[in-house]
Amino acid sequence: MVHVLSGRILLRPTDPERSRAFYGEQLGLAVHREFGTGPQRGTVYFLGGGFLEVSGQSDAAPSPAVRLWMQVEDVSAAYDELRAKGVEIVRPPVREPWGLIEMWIRDPDGTRIVLVEVPADHPMRYRPGS
C-alpha cells in the first residue's frame, strides 16, 4: 500500500496571471508558497487537506473531464461573495438528492469547480462514538 503524505492538484493555465488573480483574489485561497520568477512562476494555494499549484503555462485549456471539488462552510455565503466579485456562476446552490448542497463555478480556463457544503445532518458528518 502507498502511504500518501500529502496531495496536490497541478494546473498549467493558459494565462497564469489571470488564473492567479482568480484563485488568489476572487476565490481568496491562501498562498502556501511561491517559487520561481516571472509570469510563469509557481504559486501553491492551501486547499484544506491538500494544495492547488498554479505554475507554468499551457497552450490549451484543460480537458473538460478535469473538475475540482472544494468543500466550504457556507455555500450560500460563498455564492453571494463570488457573485459580487464577478466569478462566473455555472449553477447556484442546490441541495442534491444525496444531501449535499452544491454550487458550480468556472475558472478562467473553463475548469469546472464544485463548491460543496456538507449539512450538519448529512452522513458524511457522522462520527462513530461521538
The x, y and z cell numbers of residue 46, run together, are 492551501
Predicted confidence at residue 4, as pLDDT, reads 57
Pairing of strands 101-106, 67-71: unpaired
Note the pLDDT tens digit of each residue in 66-95: 899 998 989 999 999 999 999 999 999 999
How much is the pTM? Answer: 0.82
Note the pLDDT tens digit of each residue in 14-27: 999 999 999 999 99
DSSP the chain: -------EEEE--SSHHHHHIIIIIIS-PPEEEEES-STT-EEEEEETTEEEEE-S--SSPPPTT-EEEEE-S-HHHHHHHHHHTT--EEEEEEE-TTS-EEEEEE-TT--EEEEEE--TTSGGG--TT-
Beta bridge partners of 117: 101
Do residues 48 and 56 touch, judged by C-beta distance below 8 A?
Answer: no
- Does the pLDDT value for residue 5 go beyond 60? no
- Does the pLDDT value for residue 39 go beyond 90? no
Do residues 42 and 56 touch, judged by C-beta distance below 8 A?
Answer: yes
- Which residues have a Cβ under 8 Å from the Cβ of 72 and sit 6 or more positions away? 78, 115, 116, 117
Kindly state the average pLDDT of the residues 37-49: 88
